[in-house]
Amino acid sequence: MLYTVINDQFIPAHEAQLHVSDLAVNRGYAIFDFFKTQNGKPVFIEDHLDRFYQSARFMHLDINHTRDELKALLRELMDKNNLPYSGIRITLTGGYADDGYTLAKSNMIITQQAIKVKPLNIEGIKLATYSHQRQFAQAKTIDYQMAIWLQPYMREQGADDLLYHHNNIVRECPRANFFIVTQNNEILTTATDVLKGIIRKQVLSLANTGFTIKEQDISLDDVLNCKEAFITSTTKNILSVTQINGRLIGNGNAGKITTALSKQLAVVIAHNTGW
Amino acid sequence: MLYTVINDQFIPAHEAQLHVSDLAVNRGYAIFDFFKTQNGKPVFIEDHLDRFYQSARFMHLDINHTRDELKALLRELMDKNNLPYSGIRITLTGGYADDGYTLAKSNMIITQQAIKVKPLNIEGIKLATYSHQRQFAQAKTIDYQMAIWLQPYMREQGADDLLYHHNNIVRECPRANFFIVTQNNEILTTATDVLKGIIRKQVLSLANTGFTIKEQDISLDDVLNCKEAFITSTTKNILSVTQINGRLIGNGNAGKITTALSKQLAVVIAHNTGW
């Protein structure tokens, strides 16, 4: 049986409930973070906890656990659930508000689910662009209304995911950051008004292995002229983008630099798995 | 004891819970509507149900009840709870999603709470302006992240509520529509990109009682030059605005036209209370 943590309690996952007065249910007010475990060990745990505490602080939410207490809860949950390859989500809500509007004592929910190790998608994914700016770009909030609302549009476009832009500057995918490789072999990812993903950060750090990698705003024109494109996320690591709005990127296969970065990233992940 | 409806079940209000896999909790994906009861009878029930079904359709959510079935649930809840003066909220969520992302069978939650009949606030309220455009203005979704996030800012400004604008065009308050009375005694409310409130609609209908009332975009300059200002909402009906960003509107008391409209609105409310 799988367990879920609600505040300090371990509850059978299928019975894990929140009262309907929580501000997540009433007002969409909550933040979260999500990390993977491999071989029973967390990946980039310190980066994810850093961001979880940052998102909470930015959104005026108190975490009622010290970092050590939270880690102890995570370890205990991982021991109980015994899922070697998993995704763990920590959600922090606005709490049970008497008036349905004013922040109360936060509720924390920790869920763990098995993830399958998928075979590498060699062809990569197709994106459709859409004009949208996330309202709190710097915090990982639960606001995915636009992404879910756009699912029928995305399917009509024959796309696998969305790419948001704002005033023609590319932002991000709903659950991933976006990179291009220019004709000069520069690797660029948009600098501003995006969620700073953990894999994004690790890819930027690969600049010390000989790649030219920069945070720099990318226009839709830059995307049309790029040599390669890829997205980064905790679940996908690096995944090649082979079409945008029905137009091929490069020759429609995963590019050489994308593949080289993936190999380097795998080394970094191996070094950052564990407590 | 008070009851809450979850889907088709009447549950003691303090035990009304949703599983944490609901898309409201995970992705902030839900819509709702809210109406008042007076003397045990609903106010503007048809308008609220119209909007509830419209919001659901717009957000791709299925309501698993016909309008008559929903009304029967509301009547039964009102009978059980026996609260003559109350607010009833119907929330419809994205449902329990296995993958935490894809719309599932909606959950419907109906809660009822007593509301106190407050003495009339003669002085009216103070607003602070803030640049923000709600992402799905035409639907009553649960996204109040900005409004709740701005509560400390609002208090710093000494304001009672916020007034959103976008590119200098006034939009709405987080939970109310906004009107001005011009120096020519024209009553204006912003036409576009706002939630079309039920009291807003009823105030617009008062044009047939001799007032000049128009839907027309209002600039921040128009607000600075107005004679009177007021907000409308289900809980507040018409409420005078006496200060914006610390600046007095009119002489700082409820204006004559605002007061006259309030009296006319009370007549309309009396005629629209009941099934």
pLDDT tens, per residue, chain B with 275 residues: 999 999 999 999 999 999 999 999 999 999 999 999 999 999 999 999 999 999 999 999 999 999 999 999 999 999 999 999 999 999 999 999 999 999 999 999 999 999 976 665 567 999 999 999 999 999 999 999 999 999 999 999 999 999 999 999 999 999 999 999 999 999 999 999 999 999 999 999 999 888 999 999 999 999 999 999 999 999 999 999 999 999 999 888 889 999 999 999 999 999 999 99
At a CB cut-off of 8 Å and minimum separation 6, what does A208 contact? none
What are the boundaries of each domain within chain B? Answer: 3-114, 125-271
B163, burial (CB in 10 Å: exposed 0-12, middle 13-18, buried 19+) = buried
Q: Which residue of A has its CA nearest to B153?
A: A60
pLDDT at A208: 86
The CATH topology of domain A125-271 is: D-amino Acid Aminotransferase; Chain A, domain 2 (3.20.10)
The pLDDT-based confidence of A184 (bands split at 50, 70, 90) is: very high
Name A33's bridge partners. A90
DSSP 8-state class, residue B64: S
Task: Name residue, tokens 């992404």.
Answer: A147
The pLDDT-based confidence of A123 (bands split at 50, 70, 90) is: confident
Angle among Cα B249, B254, B257 to the nearest 5 degrees reads 95
**Chain B residues close to A103, C-beta within 8 Å:** 148, 151
Task: Name residue, tokens 């003495």.
Answer: B119
The H-or-E segment that residue A161 falls in is: strand A161-166
Q: Choose among A189, A188, A199: nearest CA to A235.
A: A199
Optimal mutation site among A148, A162, A167, A173, interface B, most CBs of chain B within 10 A: A148
Q: Count CB-CB contacts under 10 A for residue A260.
A: 14
Taking CA atoms, A89 is separated from A31, A32, A38, A74, in Å, by: 10, 7, 15, 10
**Chain B residues close to A32, C-beta within 8 Å:** 26
Contact at CB, B16 and A19, closer than 8 angstroms: yes
- Please give the CATH architecture assigned to the domain spanning A3-114: 2-Layer Sandwich (3.30)
Residue B103 in contact with residue B60, Cβ under 8 Å?
yes
The CA distance from A204 to the nearest CA of chain B, in Å, is: 28
**C-alpha atoms less than 13 angstroms from C-alpha of A186 in its C-beta half-sphere:** 13
**Chain B residues close to A234, C-beta within 8 Å:** none
Q: Does A94 touch chain B (CB under 8 A)?
A: yes
pLDDT at B120: 58
pLDDT at B113: 97
pLDDT at B18: 98
pLDDT tens digit sequence for A188-197: 999 999 999 9
Q: Does A236 touch chain B (CB under 8 A)?
A: no
Closest residue to B60, CB basis, from A20, A101, A149? A149
Q: Does B172 touch chain A (CB under 8 A)?
A: no
The torsion angles phi and psi of A260, rounded to 5 degrees, stand at -65, -40
Q: What is the number of residues in chain A? A: 275
C-alpha span between B125 and B242 (Å, rounded): 6
C-alpha span between B65 and B53 (Å, rounded): 10
Closest residue to A136, CB basis, from B60, B89, B145? B145
Give the percent of chain A with pLDDT over 90.
93
**Chain B residues close to A30, C-beta within 8 Å:** 25, 28
Contact at CB, B148 and A14, closer than 8 angstroms: no
Is the model's pLDDT at A121 over the cut of 60?
no
Q: Does B193 touch chain A (CB under 8 A)?
A: no
pLDDT at B77: 98
Residue A257 in contact with residue A228, Cβ under 8 Å?
yes
pLDDT tens digit sequence for A87-120: 999 999 999 999 999 999 999 999 999 997 666 5
pLDDT at B119: 61
pLDDT tens digit sequence for A243-254: 999 999 988 888
C-alpha span between B3 and B249 (Å, rounded): 43
Q: Does B135 touch chain A (CB under 8 A)?
A: yes
**Is the pLDDT higher at A161 or at A122?**
A161
Closest residue to A144, CB basis, from B27, B146, B148? B27
**Chain A residues close to B24, C-beta within 8 Å:** 24-25, 28
Q: Does B234 touch chain A (CB under 8 A)?
A: no
**Chain B residues close to A24, C-beta within 8 Å:** 24-25, 28
Residue B43 in contact with residue B37, Cβ under 8 Å?
yes
The CA distance from A171 to the nearest CA of chain B, in Å, is: 16
Q: Does B275 touch chain A (CB under 8 A)?
A: no
Average pLDDT of the residues in A161-169: 97
Taking CA atoms, B30 is separated from A5, A20, A92, B26, in Å, by: 24, 12, 18, 11
Q: Does A111 touch chain B (CB under 8 A)?
A: yes
pLDDT at A120: 58
Is the model's pLDDT at A65 over the cut of 90?
yes
pLDDT at A256: 95
**Is the pLDDT higher at B254 or at A135?**
A135
Average pLDDT of the residues in A136-141: 97
pLDDT at B123: 76
Contact at CB, B135 and A145, closer than 8 angstroms: yes
**Chain B residues close to A14, C-beta within 8 Å:** 19
B59, burial (CB in 10 Å: exposed 0-12, middle 13-18, buried 19+) = buried
Contact at CB, B145 and A143, closer than 8 angstroms: yes
Contact at CB, A23 and B148, closer than 8 angstroms: yes
Distance of CA A121 to the CA centre of its chain: 19
Closest residue to A28, CB basis, from B102, B132, B143? B143
Optimal mutation site among B10, B11, B19, B20, interface A, most CBs of chain A within 10 A: B20
CA dihedral sign, ordered A152, A155, A161, A167: negative
Closest residue to B144, CB basis, from A19, A28, A111? A28
Residue B73 in contact with residue B8, Cβ under 8 Å?
yes
Contact at CB, B149 and A60, closer than 8 angstroms: yes
Distance of CA B167 to the CA centre of its chain: 23
C-alpha span between B207 and B186 (Å, rounded): 10
Q: Which residue of A has its CA nearest to B89?
A: A26
